[in-house]
Homo-oligomer: A and B are copies of this chain.
Amino acid sequence: MEEKTKFLFEDWRTKLNFRLTSFLEEDDPATLYQPMQYVFEGSGKRIRPILLLLTCKAVGGNIEAAWDAAVAIELLHNFTLVHDDIMDDDDTRRGRETVHKKWTPNIALLAGDGILALSYRALLRTDSEHLKRILEIYTDGIVAVCEGQALDMDFESREHVQPKQYLEMITKKTAYLLNISAKIGAIIGNGSDRQVTALGEFAQNLGVAFQIQDDLLDITVDEDTLGKTFGSDVKQKKRTFLLNYALTHASTQSQQALLNIFQMSEIDNESIYQVRDIFESAGAISAAKESVDNYLSLANKNLESLNGNGENRHLNYLLNYISNRNF
């Protein structure tokens, strides 16, 4: 079963990549379309479109009707990446130069705007009697992502961010796009309102769980395990769930020790172990684990509420995949 799901995802990913790389009908002016094409040719897990296709299928819909929306949601995701990379001034993305580094920030800004417009163009090709509702949900999603990004920017300059505020931020910044992907797929598949809501919440809960787990694995991962590198978030001074938790729950002395470490121009390996110990003693690691379990359990309940027909198996696969992830 697991193999079948993996095969299905791989098949969809291939089809989606083909649609993305052949999406552009124009190449002039090159200043606009070359960076766009570069973005569309990048790799990616394509989680959001896969989720959209999955939920369409889960409610018994025909996924052929969902491809345009699947392309749209991936374009939307890429729009957020291009603009986020400008704001964070990141050099690389998925192993390649970011658009604003390869070209200029102005060109990346404009390419991002264009990709957002093209994502609406793709979505508008969806043949569904619920198109207006789909567009409303989609648009609300973009507003939420902007709010999440604004919160993220705010938090950068604050010493204390409560875990609850951090959760609001990651919900809006990353999990909400998963929510709307799942909802839109279910709507295109003519799912009931109950199904649409449950699948949206399922995806959002899964997204939050995944994000906290990511923060957690950074500091708990076995160094021999492939994939993640131990302490890379700490090295990059990222404001993770753990750091925010420790900065609001650790002893005053430990908080100061953390702040001192994060003010170092470069954080050495010894300090990373010290950070891990503070996270441990402040209860940040167990709080993160509890939070992941909590969101996964909510996601599981969302699935159960659908009174599982056979089409839920791929969604269950996603849930199990995240539950068992340790790399």
| Chain A residues within 8 Å of B, Cβ to Cβ | 26, 29, 31-32, 83, 86-87, 105-107, 109-110, 112-114, 116-118, 120-121, 124, 131-132, 135-136, 139-140, 142-143, 146-147, 149-151, 153-154
Q: Is the interface of A mostly helix, strand, loop or mixed?
A: helix
Contact of B139 with A117 in the complex, beta carbons under 8 Å: yes
Known contacts A29-B150, A110-B150; A124/B116 CB under 8 A: no
Q: Roughly how many angstroms separate A154 CA and B110 CA in the complex, as a whole number?
A: 13
Q: How far is the CB of A173 from chain B (nearest CB, A)?
A: 11
- Residue contact A113 to B32, C-beta cutoff 8 Å: no
Flag if B113 contacts A146 (CB, 8 Å): yes
Copies of this protein in the assembly total: 2
**Which listed residue, B110, B118, B151, touches A87 by the CB 8 Å rule?**
B110
- Please give, as numbers and ranges, the residues of chain B lying within 8 Å of A151 by CB-CB distance: 29, 31
| Extra A-B contacts (18), CB below 8 Å, given A32-B147, A116-B116 | A29-B150, A29-B151, A31-B153, A31-B154, A83-B109, A87-B109, A105-B105, A106-B153, A113-B146, A114-B142, A116-B142, A117-B139, A118-B143, A120-B142, A121-B136, A121-B139, A121-B140, A121-B143
B124 touches A143 (CB 8 A): no
A146 nearest in chain B by CB position: B114
Knowing A120-B135, A120-B139, A143-B114 touch, does A150 contact B109 (C-beta < 8 A)? no
